Amino acid sequence: MKIQIELDKDNLIEKLETHLRFLITFSYRWLTNEGEVLGYILGSLHFMLFVLLVLLVIASHTVYTNFWFQLAIFVCIFVIWIQHVFLKVCVSVIAEKNLTKDTSPFHTLLQDVFQVSSTDFTNYFVTAETVALGCFGLELISRCSVYLRRAWH
């Protein structure tokens, strides 16, 4: 038996990117309508989201170890991972490129901060994201099994 899912990736990426550009344009319309500025705003938000997720993972294992908090972070990271692995692209980077009509400000920030090319960073990031997601998922399964074992005894 073979399960096959038909998915027009290009159409899906285009729709997600269009919605993201609309959201950024709508949210920052009071500030500017210039595409390049909006692209840099989106690039900065993209970088801040990246740092925030790393900090939330650390906080969920040290400061606030609540199961539901960890599950919410796992779901967020899983959605991002699905986008990176199955669509083989980051929708935010595509939106940034379309807004600035140049290279992605997120990639420029990465090159300046981490001193690594965007291609190498993407490869490292997807690998690290996959490993972290697997470990995080196993941790959540472990916590569920401990809870179920206590409930049955």
Distance CA 11, CA 151 (A): 47
- Out of 21-25, 32-36, 142-146, pick the least confident: 32-36
- The pLDDT-based confidence of 78 (bands split at 50, 70, 90) is very high
Which pLDDT score is estimated for 32? Answer: 84
Sign of CA dihedral 71, 75, 78, 84: negative
Average pLDDT value for residue range 132-145: 92
Q: Report the interhelical angle of 67-86 vs 35-62 (nearest 10°).
A: 140
Average pLDDT value for residue range 98-118: 84
pLDDT tens string 94-104: 998 998 888 88
Which pLDDT score is estimated for 101? Answer: 87
CA 46, 51, 56: angle at the middle one, nearest 5? 120
Residue among 29, 28, 42 nearest 92 (CA): 42
What residue spans define the domains of the chain? 9-148
Yes or no: say if 140 and 74 are a contact pair by the CB < 8 Å rule.
Answer: yes
pLDDT surpassing 80 at residue 65:
yes
pTM of the model: 0.82
Yes or no: say if 106 and 93 are a contact pair by the CB < 8 Å rule.
Answer: yes
